[in-house]
Chains A and B, each alone.
Chain A
């Protein structure tokens, strides 16, 4: 017979021990940050339709645009990582497949984020 209390049985099985609560708050934070950043990006992208390399270079070389584009890249790849992690945890079953997919996801967001940041800095500061 199980003599432990309901609380004792519940402890250690929740996601809060795996950082679930923090993850939830982090996701809300990047969501709120993404709203103005995404609107700014769409506005900027409209201005860059049909732009040649020179026009793109002078756009990204403006300090405000470089700063906002860096924030957009950092926040977006974080946001993708957080959102896709939840999708993977909810829909990929089996521990091995889950860990493999999460590792691939981490690889994608770190390489994608680093590549994007590096690209805009190469454009601005030359190569």
Chain B
């Protein structure tokens, strides 16, 4: 989920953002002034801005600015903890303020990258937000030292109270903040960050800062935005990707209550605008629409499967990793293991459907939108509305789920802006129905994977050949990332390189190949994206190998992980907490899996039973993670619990079948997801090694599926090679 750049979204303005990111310290100087920007807002409340990240009010309240999006993953609280830790302020007096992309642009991107994906929210901000907290603390202490005319080294601070022991004087941050804000910021070289082992606020299971208004209905999501005179729009895009809107008969909905206008959106979609969304939506349902389905009208799941299957034997590949000679080693091995696996397209199904509210006039454009990339939202708004970037604003709201759907691809902002331009100065809220949301996602890519292995007489893995055939995210969203026909993104988790998504296994003869087989279906990042498929393929197949070798699942993996101690440590921790090797109740079986993604090492055990009727029950799962530093253990646990639900939903039920070129699963009745009655007991093991920063939101999903499938293998004696499980007869 790193580069989420849309081929559909604004090119010029988007490039401007990329340039802004690349030019260190430079960014965009647009001379843009916000009438009610943060400086003024803070000043109105009597606050003093120590730096872009921290404002302190006379009553000692600390306002910490947050640039990354909050979609439930807890980044907002974690980032505040990191700033507060270095600031040495009173955590009870911390509140947060979400900065907008317009404010970021106006201040030459002082808050840096706002995009929130790839489990990067904390790990790629931690250094500069901690430095900002430390710099603010140094300025506050210096201001007190100046006031008391004592050396700053003689001062101590705790919970925002500054003490000079020698003269028994104390003061508070609120009292010296105004003077501190006038001081020069300390040189970056003078800042020493704390050893995380000494953290008091970070590293602790602090309560989330954003819970209260989620309990009483007062939290305003973008879908809840109310503006004076607002109209509402419902939209239908051509259900066949690549198809077009042919015609519609507006006369059939003439006179319906509240309807204001029918708007053609690009050449593929039609929207009805009315005074309420329900009236817009029911009028749209009644509107006769003719589509030109185009050349993809006969594509189906079956034709796509055949297309991918052909890739398993193709002579040209699109990204390889190799050492030794896997083909020869397998050919001459004492024992061979072979299997073909597959996984389907998957929708994100965020609980809050895609939506955007715009207000566009000749010289100003605004959008209220749930976004994982507010700068991309702003760019899309500017490009589509024709209003210069400097006169655009994307208002911040927290998201009702994101999961990778609301990143660089701001298709809904473009649609809303096209509709909104028809109503100058009038706010228009566009909401997708759930059916539209599931029909026009950027789906998790589909793939198939052929695996073969060779074992020697002692059952050691001496050769492994992996060939994945499937759709490329880069080909759809970011074609320039494909160089010389090679696209290694799809090999996530199988890399040789350490640091992000490294395969922990050392195999003397290894060949991993990717064969690009694209379809007409839009694809994109999806919480954990390629690690999910790749961990399933690798870990389910390693299980097949272990069983063929007659070896214990953990012992077999330990031998292969001997060169990768961090992978091994998490596997061992999970095996121990998951009672590996210990007796289980009658009929209950265990499985295990390990992997690496988003900079973190993960492993899981699952305990399952399969009833005589073939019904699966997942009783208990233990998941472990080494994400380096643990900023909030309780929120890491929450993400891991949630990742089990996202992973099991996909493994048990998730699929988006294609018929006649279009998606057929359009709501939760057919796109089934896990509910509470199938939720296993989840236990979390944190294995921090304190020498790197890894992600948290995504990494553990990928081990959920193989751990459960390997437990099913233990229960039934049969491997599960195709998902979702609902199509697999277990007995």
Are A and B bound to each other? no
